[in-house]
Structure 1
Amino acid sequence: MSTQTQQEPPTTTRHGTLALKKYAPGLLLCAAAVAVAMIVNSVLAGLSPLIIAIALGIALTNMVRLPATTAPGINLAAKKLLRLGIVFLGLQLVFSDIIALGAPMLAVIVCIVAGGIVGTLLMGRLLKMRRSQVLLIACGFSICGAAAVAGVEGVTDSDEEDVVTAVALVVVFGTLMIPAIPFAGRLLGLGPELSGLWAGGSIHEIAQVVAAGGIIGGGALGVAVVVKLARILLLAPVVAILSVRQRHSGRGKAGEKRPPIVPVFIIGFLAMVALRSTLDLPEVLVQGGGLAQTGLLSAAMFALGCGVKIRNLIGLGARPFILAAASTVLVAGIALAGIGLVHA
């Protein structure tokens, strides 16, 4: 009996083996997609690995039927790895850079996020769309794209279709903004710095902001990224507010698990911001964090892309696209008006 017991693998080992068998196929597929995205990005620097990864996911899932064994790993990447990527995103923020924008510009950034969210929610109500879907679009377009969609999804009742739709719209409309903002800036007679501020204040994904800043040239890229990072920082209070609201609305419902006031990944995100802002971290550590963030978010984007069925998007009708277009114009309009007031 004792010999037989000794030969049995420990419980933790068995569980680890089972988990590996369950998640490995999907995670390996995500890793392969990340490798392809990184290689394409090294050749075409203007294309973000996140955009390439989600395009790969959409193309793959619509061309072939993925094996059922890949589903657990893909789902893990779409949820857990995305949140971990948001944590590492905090290493890219430094409080002093954001504060250096000045109080007037910081007030404009708050107005962009608050006005974008509230305005998009109101437009979504007029279009008679589901509130959960509208909220994801509002936060994704007003704060930081797919990362905001993932953050908000964790504290709301959104379903997978809502998340996938919001991310797909972020990719489509954010990509359209890459050439649109530099062109419109030149048309309006804005210099590189003001165009950079506008790009950072209006474009959805940070990678898309970098691409637009590079097109504008001059000192546009630096200010665009800092403004965008300031918008990203507002993800934490927005998620906390939504979490409190969700807890309040779920009060009294038996057996319902209420979300924490501040989700763990948001705490991790803020901890990384504090770490980067208070310590003189080695450059290799910061670069490593950036690489980890890009890899994790690219894996998550590929996983989310695998949930995008073209026929389902067509079946959504025109309303989500109308809302996405209107939200893009609203956020860009608030940003332009605010920058005009500050730099009048």
Structure 2
Amino acid sequence: MRQCRGVSPNKSVSSAVPGLLGAAAAVAAAVGVHFLLPALPAMTLAVVFGLLAANLPGVAAWTSGPARPGLDFAGKHLMRAGIVVLGLKVSLGDVLGLGWAALLLIVAVVLAAFAGTYGIGRLFRLPPRTSLLVATGFAVCGASAIGAMAAVRRIRQEETVLPVALVTLCGTLAIGVLPLLARPLGLGPEIFGAWTGASVHDVGQVVATAQTAGAAALAVAVVVKLTRVILLAPMVAAAGFHHRLGPGAEDVKRPPVIPLFVLGFVAMAGLRSTGWLSPAVLDAAAVVQDVLLGMALFGLGSAVRAGQLLHTGARALLAALASWLLIAVLGLAAAFLMFPSA
């Protein structure tokens, strides 16, 4: 965390404690609600609790005052740590087990969703950075992808708040809408699972959506989703390379092509793929990842003021809904092509 001149490290650390404790408490509450209502993903609840904390009388003063240093630390640094641990969810063997045709379809969906969502954002006159972050979150893996892209393109944390809110909103919408469409569309478990994995943003939201169609749908959905997640590294690398070649790049300090935390994500995915880690270790890592990302998402949500969102976010909301429809159609088409006989 950046320290001001003349401020001791101990004082800087102590100033972050209230916000970090509040974020941890919010994650505990989110996990508790998820345990009682499994259809509500804990990560989505963490964002919602952050939004409430930012806008409820009394608590809002705390989030914008004494808690702000810790919440900002969570939104930036704990997000990056959570992305590293997220790599332990990705098994290259499971991904390759889909077959090359399915892998190419998923890559095509991600690229088309990214390009289409960016184009929709610009059509709705969103700033290029906002359009980039929304496109990354929708195409790859939600808030985690937004955090990674913001780091490599040197986008300020404040500018990630709206994209995270939009990707959370649309992912939550998918949890309710996709299962309602499964029967009218005549989708079997495999097709529904592939559709969910190819079109829903966050891993937790994918699980919450796919499990409504049973274990077979959930198994397919998770593998398809994690295939999208592993594309985070090459997409961030491409964005970093493009940023270094952009106009004026030679006049400023250039960020690395691939940030260290993304390399950490790749290393963790490689470690998971060796099969050396026991189920107990992977379960513990999943808990750590949920805590880190949950605290980060609470921190980001706590920076959203309802008045500002209503004033500046109307066009962004329409763009996000249009993008959500686009990726849902792309994902459904890919699912039918993956399982033509299902």
Give the distance between the partners of 2:246 and 2:24, measured in 1 at CA.
39
Q: CA deviation at 1:135?
A: 0.6
1:340 is matched with 336
Match of 2:4 in 1: none
**1:111/1:334 contact within 8 Å kept:** no
TM-score, normalised to structure 1's length?
A: 0.92
TM-score by length of 2: 0.92
* Mapped partners of 2:229, 2:164: distance in 1: 16
Whole-Å separation in 2 of the counterparts to 1:101 and 1:252? 40
Correspondence for 2:14: 21
Q: Kindly, what percent of the aligned residue pairs are identical?
A: 40
Q: Do the aligned partners of 1:193 and 1:218 also contact (CA within 8 Å) in 2?
A: no
Does the alignment pair 1:303 with 2:299? yes
Would you say 1:61 and 2:54 are equivalent positions? yes
Q: Is the 8 A contact 1:197 1:223 kept in 2?
A: yes
Contact 1:95 1:273 survives alignment (8 Å):
yes
* Other-structure match for 2:312: 316
Spell out, residue by residue over 1:31-62, the C-alpha distance to the aligned partner (whole angstroms, 9 max, x if none).
Answer: 11112112222222222111111111110110
Verify the 8 A CA contact 1:50 1:298 in the aligned structure 2: yes
Q: Which amino acid aligns with 1:59?
A: L
TM-fit CA distance, 1:252: 5.1
Counterpart check, 1:45 vs 2:41: no
Q: 2:77 aligns with which of 66, 69, 80?
A: 80
Residues 317 and 283 (structure 1), Cα distance of their counterparts in 2 relative to 1, 3 Å cut:
closer
- C-alpha distance in 1 between matches for 2:215 and 2:286: 24
Alpha-carbon RMSD across the aligned residues, in angstroms, is 1.6
Larger Rg over CA atoms: 1
User: 1:181 aligned to 174, 178, 181, which one?
Assistant: 178
Q: How does 1:176-215 map to 2 (within 5 A)?
A: 176-215=173-212
Report how far residue 289 of structure 1 moved: 0.6
CA distance, structure 1, for counterparts of residue 304 and residue 225 of structure 2:
27
Partner of 1:33: 26
| Counterparts of 2:49 and 2:249, CA distance in 1 | 44
SS state of the match for residue 152, structure 2?
coil
SS in 1 for 2:21: helix
AA partner of residue 100 (structure 2): A
How far apart, in 1, do the equivalents of 2:14 and 2:83 lie?
27
Name the aligned partner's letter for residue 201 of structure 1: A
1:99 aligns with 2:96: yes
Q: CA deviation at 1:161?
A: 4.2
CA contact (8 A) 2:192 2:335 kept: no
Which of these residues, 249, 253, 259, is aligned with residue 263 of structure 1? Answer: 259
Per the alignment, residue 279 of structure 2 pairs with: 283
The alignment partner of 1:122 has SS state of helix
SS at match of 1:190: coil
For 2:250 and 2:12, locate their aligned partners in 1 and report how far apart those are by CA, in whole Å.
33
State the AA in 2 paired with 1:278. T
Aligned residue for 1:129, secondary structure, equals coil
1:121 aligns with 2:127: no
Ranges in structure 2 where 5+ consecutive residues have no aligned partner: 1-6
SS in 2 for 1:135: helix
Task: Give, in angstroms, the shift of residue 275 of structure 1.
Answer: 0.5
Q: Please give the secondary structure, in 2, of the residue aligned with 1:42.
A: helix
Q: CA deviation at 1:343?
A: 2.8
Q: CA deviation at 1:279?
A: 3.5
Give the deviation of 1:128 after TM superposition: 2.1
Q: How many residues end up aligned between the 2 structures?
A: 330
Partner AA of 1:154 in structure 2: A
